[in-house]
A and B are shown apart, each in its own frame.
Chain A
Amino acid sequence: MTSLEQLQKDFVEMLSQDSPKFEAHIAAQSGLAPQQRAEIYQNAYRIRLTKVLEQDHEMLGLYLGDDLFEEMVKGYLAIYPSCAPSLREFGNRLPHFLSSQSPFKEHGILQEIALFERLLLRAFDAADSDTLQFTQLQSIQQTSWPNIQFRLHPSVQLLTCHYPAVESWQALKSEQSPPSPENTTERYWIIAREQDKRTGFYALSKCHYECLKSIQSGLPFGFVCETAAQYTDSEEQGMMQVMELLQKGIELGWLQSNIELLQA
């Protein structure tokens, strides 16, 4: 190992593992002691990454309160130090951390709030794409409909919750107290970028959620209708649900303009 390699290794181990070896590289100067000089970098490292999680997970922070949030950051940083040049990715493993580490894993809602906040970021950063327009549907021939493949807009994220995670997020956002974090019925959400580039989210019925899932997996329109029928009482009702979803999806920009006619 060259001396430059050794110096950089010791610097990084000082930051990530509190290793004292690095201090030997620091020249004595008037003013601060070597240890204090090392601490400036150590503090800056912790503060910077803490700030990223605070910004990306603002409502999770409010939900946990300062002390628990700090404990979470400390634990997360120790297991998952940043390994990507972009700070945007630093928190990607936070939902997994919260679902696997005590005391957080005992509270399933925490992982869901964190995941919801990650999906908001993902929607915000997703690629742009032209959205589907009503006029495009008019040119589709009756017989072609079953073989039309719709595509979700790149910003669309689908989420299933077992806890009132999104409701809690909303309550905290509007400075109200969150509902009780009980494991109740499943809830379904879509998160997507709006026309004005802001990120929006909407509650979905089980039927609409499953239809969007089938579109996401590339199934043609005929199969999407079959999916809908499974979650309603009849084919007709299923069809109505799908048409309702299409209308909503077009209005809110959930679908891309490049639809494709698959070969039957």
Chain B
Amino acid sequence: MSNTPHPYIGFGLGLRTCYFEEILATQPNVDWFEIISENYFVDGGKPWHYLDQIKEQYPIVMHGVSMSIGSTSDINFDYLGNLKKTIDRVQPMWISDHLCFSSLGDFNSHDLLPMPYTEEAIDHLAQRLNIVQDYLQRPLILENVSSYLTYQASQMSEWEFLSELHSRTQCRYLLDINNIYVSARNHEFEPETFLDAIPQQAIAQIHLAGHSDFGSHIIDTHDQPICDQVWRLFENFAKTRGPINTMIERDDNFPPFSELMAELDHARAIAPESWSVHDFA
């Protein structure tokens, strides 16, 4: 399902409620927007009112937070049904969720809980991914989550785990460079080692975001500007790669839209020339 090349559409922003009106009024120079899929699992009202208009003008990408692909419970087909309904209406360029588990049985943590890096987890994920992609009739792109612990059970590094899952399933990743940086700091590895280990054909998208630094550990709060180290990681990584869809992700403590545009333009400026999107319209 994932053998077709992934489309490159440039530099995007997370679409959040507080920016709806400004986006429609000013038509900012953003190549695409990413929505949180679950925010549109409602029948109508404001979110759909605005999205229906914005999707006429910009390509949309769907990013989910609740699939819990790694869970050992039965697959939640109610959830997948809602997702499919939303996909049909939005017609996104692609869809993604997180490489993690977040629920077990009836219990929902609403958090992105890390998987152990084991052969067993790879088997489990490969099998679940197959079922989900079959049901949705499209590839599911998976985002690496940040983590604050390492499991006793883990048999390999996170990047070896991702590479192995990719070679088994051809799945593609949404690499969140901030999450890599956060995990690298929390687990004392070199973030470059992680980034270098993921083959080009396995990457569909990049997230750039901010975090909160507590000294002894850092937490991916997505409520701060992108830090210098993450910008540097992105810049150096981009130099070694062909174009990858890149997005600024802000989930809380929302700044004026112009600040996000400035971050987006900074990403455009430090990415190689080959990553620029020309508007031939």
Residues of A within 8 A of B (CB): 2-5, 7-9, 11-12, 15-16, 24-27, 29-32, 34, 37-38, 40-41, 44-45, 48-49, 81-88, 124-129, 154-155, 193, 197
Contacts and interface: CB of A to CB of B under 8 A. Distances in A.
B104 A7 contact: no
Given A8-B101, A85-B38, A48 B110 contact: yes
30 contacts: A2-B72, A3-B118, A12-B107, A27-B149, A27-B150, A27-B154, A29-B150, A29-B187, A29-B188, A30-B188, A41-B109, A41-B148, A41-B149, A44-B111, A45-B109, A84-B108, A85-B38, A85-B79, A85-B103, A85-B108, A87-B38, A88-B41, A125-B43, A125-B44, A126-B42, A127-B43, A128-B43, A193-B45, A197-B46, A197-B49
Contacts of B186: 31
Contacts of B107: 12, 15-16, 81-83
Nearest to B252: A51
A208 B158 CA distance: 63
B106 interface: yes
Nearest to A23: B149
Contacts of B153: 3, 7, 25
Given A7-B116, A40-B217, A125-B42, A82 B110 contact: yes
Contacts of B30: none
B46 A40 contact: no
B121 interface: yes
A8 B45 contact: no
Given A26-B150, A31-B216, A154-B44, A45 B121 contact: no
A4 B116 contact: yes
B41 to A, nearest CB: 6
B71 interface: yes
Contacts of A128: 43-45, 48-49
- Give the most central of A16, A85, A124: most B CB within 10 Å: A85
A27 B155 CA distance: 12
B217 A31 contact: yes
Interface size class of B (residues with CB under 8 A): 35 or more
Contacts of B48: 128
B276 interface: no
A5 B153 CA distance: 12
Contacts of B79: 85
A84 B108 CA distance: 6
B219 interface: yes
Contacts of B45: 124-126, 128, 155, 193, 197
Given A4-B121, A48-B110, A85-B103, 6 more contacts: A15-B111, A25-B116, A27-B152, A85-B66, A85-B68, A128-B43
Nearest to A87: B110
A8 B72 contact: yes
B280 interface: no
Contacts of B151: 7, 25-27
B273 interface: no
Contacts of A127: 43-44
- Give the most central of B68, B109, B153: most A CB within 10 Å: B109
A37 B149 contact: yes
Contacts of B41: 86, 88
A128 to B, nearest CB: 4
A126 B43 contact: yes
Interface in B79-125: 79, 101, 103-111, 113, 116, 118, 120-121, 124
